[in-house]
């Protein structure tokens, strides 16, 4: 069975893991917030990556920086600091 790779699939997994049973309005508001974050990240990536089809060392460094920031935030959430 293939893994579904889509923003919607990630949203559904995130919603179940973090929120469980919520009202319809909460679902709408949280989904909008989730997609807003995804949209901001996508636009950030498109603006910061070097032109061309092949990743540059600078591109990889930028991606590592984003990865590190997201992992630090996840850890802060787990420890109740975010």
- In the chain, what are the domain boundaries? 1-48, 51-82
| DSSP letter for each residue of 8-72 | HHHHHHHHHHHT-S--HHHHHHHHHHHHHHHHHHHHHHHHHSPSSSSPPHHHHHHHHHHHHHHHH
User: pTM of the prediction?
Assistant: 0.80
pLDDT (0 to 100) of residue 4: 75
pLDDT (0 to 100) of residue 71: 96
Q: Could you read off the pLDDT tens digit of each residue along the chain, which spans 82 residues?
A: 677 789 999 999 999 999 989 999 999 999 999 999 999 999 999 999 999 999 999 999 999 999 999 999 999 988 999 9
pLDDT (0 to 100) of residue 1: 64
Q: On the CB side of 28, how many CA atoms lie within 13 Å of its CA?
A: 3
């Amino acid at each position: 069975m293939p893994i579904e790779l889509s923003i919607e699939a990630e949203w559904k997994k995130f919603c179940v893991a973090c929120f469980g049973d919520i009202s319809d309005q909460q679902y709408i508001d949280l989904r909008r917030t989730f997609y807003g974050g995804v949209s901001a990240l996508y636009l950030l990536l498109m603006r910061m990556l070097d032109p061309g089809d092949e990743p540059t060392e600078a591109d990889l460094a930028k991606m590592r920086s984003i990865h590190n920031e997201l992992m630090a935030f996840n850890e802060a959430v787990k420890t109740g600091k975010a």
